[in-house]
Structure 1
Amino acid sequence: MADLLSIIGARIRALRKERGWSQEKLAELADLNASYVGKIERGEKNTTFRSLEKVSGALDISMLELFRYMEPVENVSDKDTFAKIINMLQSSSDEERKKVLQLLQLITNWNK
């Protein structure tokens, strides 16, 4: 459960940052406490469905969009880090993603 909470939190954080908002701004728009939003983003709080509805409404996205790309990742030892990487890439442009891919290819082929 903790992995899923971290993944959801990372997704919310990425969407918030994509808009250039602080946690306080998201909390205000979602009618939630700012510290509660922080705990959700860090995966520390097992939030309610109603709070997620408020967050998705504040972000002006559907619940489907909020949970897009939220499938559990198998065979990854550090799922939190992997989720953060995915969320960072989701909020990047196609050109930025291509550059990241090229960089990863260089790094992984470094010692071959």
Structure 2
Amino acid sequence: MVLEGIGARIRALRRKKGLTLNELASRCQLSASFLSQVERGMISPSIVSLYRICQVLEIPISHLLAEPIPPCLPGHPGPKPAPHQARQFGRLIPVSFRRVRGPAA
């Protein structure tokens, strides 16, 4: 689910900014109880509410909506795309950039 974890991210960013729940709610023109429920993952905020929160926290809305990227260990190449994702990505590469194979020897 896309909205999973947004509340925890909002709480972490709010605390990083040194704002209380009431301060953020007031600046966003939202109720503190609503914001508390969002932070605890009990309800999903509307796009308008997310926009207000992001304005106050001075972050792009995509920062909250993006899936977190798992950290990679040093020397580890990181996660590989699933086969269906690799095929979809291959369709996005223009033909002129694809490696053209010559005739078989």
Q: Give the number of the structure whose alpha-carbon radius of gyration is greater.
A: 2
**Could you say which residue in structure 2 is the equivalent of 1:38?**
36
Deviation at 1:62, TM superposition (A): 1.2
**Could you say which residue in structure 1 is the equivalent of 2:63?**
65
Runs of 4+ aligned structure 1 residues displaced above 3 Å come to none
Identity %: 35
| 1:15 has 2:22 as partner | no
Which amino acid is 1:43 matched to? G
Deviation at 1:40, TM superposition (A): 0.4
Conserved? CA contact 2:3–2:65, under 8 Å? no
Q: How many residues align?
A: 71
TM-score computed with the length of structure 2 as normaliser: 0.59
Give the unaligned 5+ runs of structure 1: 74-85, 87-112
Conserved? CA contact 1:6–1:41, under 8 Å? no
The structure carrying a bigger helix percent of its residues is: 1
Q: Which has the higher contact order (CA 8 A, sep 6+)?
A: 1
Which amino acid is 2:7 matched to? G
Give the unaligned 5+ runs of structure 2: 72-105
Residues 19 and 53 (structure 1), Cα distance of their counterparts in 2 relative to 1, 3 Å cut: same
Which amino acid is 1:41 matched to? E
The 2-side partners of 1:60 and 1:29 are apart by 12
Which amino acid is 1:23 matched to? L
Residues 26 and 71 (structure 1), Cα distance of their counterparts in 2 relative to 1, 3 Å cut: same
Conserved? CA contact 1:15–1:59, under 8 Å? yes
Deviation at 1:67, TM superposition (A): 2.8
1:45 is paired with a residue of what secondary structure? coil
TM-score computed with the length of structure 1 as normaliser: 0.55
Q: CA RMSD in A?
A: 2.2
